[in-house]
């Protein structure tokens, strides 16, 4: 899921480096084709040069006795090796213009978002019922029947509140959160992030299912979780205040995490765990993003036209914003082929947040009128189809109510 900073005042939009999180392991779909047997089978005939009438003269030559050898058992099949290369690209059938200009007020209404989302002081959608959340919530998701909310506590500080039906459980210092695709597990991190004020040394990563596991990182900077995939937590962190932020992989319960040095400044992990999106260049002129194979470190393709933020559940499409964003909102959301970088679709407007709802649809928090925090600002969550480019409103247009998409 992608998050655009609403408080950026100068320079390129860098909130993605600090707050992107794509929620949980999702296995890409495959369709199996089969063909039934032919009912019109041809009967076997005699071999060429022989009579089809059996002889009536008995043979006087005794038949030798042959003892059949036992058929050797085939060796046991080896388990398949895990794939270390991206899935083959499948051309997405698309109709209509590649670039779509949106007017939110003119879009037809559609069904509500099917992933968690925030409207004002309430979380809705996903597999849970609508629940109240604290003021200052900026990250939210469902873990089983509990709400996981990251709440600002003032002066660049924040905490995680796990909200059930009694008093919430609080974890101080948490600034990032991801939820697994089936909503059964959560990962979150303690660490000060640059988009929320001055950064400080030290942090920790938590993994929570039925129990809580913790990895202390006292010498790390800007610790931020990115994904909970296949029983592993992916996060980024730096070894110095101004050094590279590397990708790390941690199995909950292990005493150490494994660094992936080839992936610097990661922004998203594909649901199949094969590739990572990263910010390979960031300066006042704009940004460049790279897709890299995690196992080999091979850079597969690069774009300086989009900031890559998240993937669709099947890992075949990567979603991004414009390469240079500054201020209240981004000006486009793009869908690209994750294997080749081919642009499939681009929507233009004023967008504050976006995430994949499924393999074919993108949810976008779009400003309909006003903006910049001015009173009377109107916005809505819209749903756009990657194949057709068509969009609809997934929520009514609200006035001066915060909208965001869950983890």
Cα(388)–Cα(344) distance, integer angstroms: 10
**Domains of the chain, start order:** 2-22+90-405 (2.130.10.150)
**Nearest by Cα to 296 from 311, 318, 274, 315:** 274
Q: Across the chain, how many H-helices and E-strands are there?
A: 1, 29
**Up-side HSE of residue 301: CA atoms within 13 Å toward CB?**
14
pLDDT for 327 equals 67
DSSP calls for 59-115: P-SPPPP--PPPPPPPPPPPPPPPP-SPPPP-PPP--S-SEEE--GGGSPB-PPPSS
Give the pLDDT score at 45.
Answer: 34
Q: Are 290 and 301 in contact, with CB atoms under 8 Å apart?
A: yes
Give the whole-angstrom CA distance, residue 24 versus residue 215: 19
In tens digits, the chain (407 residues) has pLDDT values of 444 433 333 343 333 333 333 333 222 333 233 333 333 333 333 333 333 333 444 444 444 444 444 444 444 444 444 444 445 445 556 777 899 999 999 999 999 999 999 999 999 998 878 999 999 999 999 999 999 999 999 888 999 999 988 899 999 999 999 999 999 999 999 999 988 778 899 999 999 998 999 999 999 999 999 999 989 999 999 999 998 999 999 999 999 999 999 999 999 999 999 999 999 887 777 889 999 999 999 999 999 999 999 999 999 999 999 987 666 789 999 999 999 999 999 999 999 999 999 999 999 999 999 877 778 899 999 999 999 999 999 999 999 998 999 98
Nearest to 358 by CA among 111, 123, 84: 111
CA angle 239, 311, 405 (to 5 degrees): 90
Q: How far apart are CA 16 and CA 260, in angstroms?
A: 19
Nearest to 308 by CA among 20, 79, 12, 11: 20
In sequence order, the 6+-apart residues with CB closer than 8 A to the CB of 70 are none
- Partners of residue 131 on adjacent β-strands: 123
- Identify the pLDDT of residue 155: 84
Select from 2, 107, 104, 21 the least CA-distant residue to 330. Answer: 2
Q: What is the pLDDT of residue 384?
A: 98
Contact between 202 and 185 (Cβ < 8 Å): no
Distance CA 324, CA 286 (A): 5
């Amino acid at each position: 899921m992608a998050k655009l900073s609403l408080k950026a005042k100068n320079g390129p939009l860098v909130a993605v480096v600090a707050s992107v999180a794509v929620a949980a392991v999702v296995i890409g779909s495959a369709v199996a084709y089969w063909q039934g047997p032919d009912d019109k089978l041809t009967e076997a005939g005699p071999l060429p040069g022989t009579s089809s009438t059996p002889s009536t003269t008995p043979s006087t030559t005794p038949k030798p006795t042959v003892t059949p050898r036992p058929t050797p058992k085939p060796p046991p099949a080896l388990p398949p090796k895990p794939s270390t290369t991206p899935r083959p690209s499948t051309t997405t059938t698309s109709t209509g213009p590649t670039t779509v200009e949106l007017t939110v007020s003119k879009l037809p209404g559609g069904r509500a978002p099917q992933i968690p989302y925030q409207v004002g002081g309430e979380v809705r959608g996903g597999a849970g019922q609508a629940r109240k959340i604290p003021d200052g919530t900026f990250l939210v998701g469902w873990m089983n029947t509990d709400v996981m909310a990251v709440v600002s506590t003032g002066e660049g500080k924040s905490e995680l509140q796990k909200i059930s039906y009694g008093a919430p459980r609080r974890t101080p210092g948490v600034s990032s959160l991801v939820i697994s695709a089936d909503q059964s597990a959560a990962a979150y991190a303690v660490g000060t992030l640059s988009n929320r004020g001055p950064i400080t040394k030290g942090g920790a990563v938590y993994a929570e299912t039925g129990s809580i596991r913790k990895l202390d990182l006292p010498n790390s900077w800007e610790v931020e979780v990115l994904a909970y995939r296949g029983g592993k937590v992916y996060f980024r962190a730096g070894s110095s205040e101004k050094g590279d932020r590397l990708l790390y992989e941690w199995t909950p319960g292990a005493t150490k995490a494994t660094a992936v040095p080839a992936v610097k400044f990661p922004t998203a992990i594909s649901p199949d765990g094969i590739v990572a999106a990263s910010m390979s260049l960031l300066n006042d002129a704009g940004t460049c993003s790279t897709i890299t194979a995690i196992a080999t470190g091979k850079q597969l393709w690069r774009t300086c036209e989009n900031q890559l933020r998240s993937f669709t559940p099947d890992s075949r499409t990567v979603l991004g914003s414009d390469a240079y964003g500054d201020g209240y909102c981004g000006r486009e959301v793009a869908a690209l082929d994750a294997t080749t970088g081919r642009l499939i679709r681009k929507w233009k407007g004023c967008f504050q947040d976006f995430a994949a709802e499924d393999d074919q649809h993108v949810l976008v928090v779009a400003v309909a009128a006003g903006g910049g925090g001015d009173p009377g600002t109107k916005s809505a969550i819209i749903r756009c189809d990657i194949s057709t480019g068509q969009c609809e409103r997934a929520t009514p247009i609200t006035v001066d109510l915060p909208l965001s998409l869950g983890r």
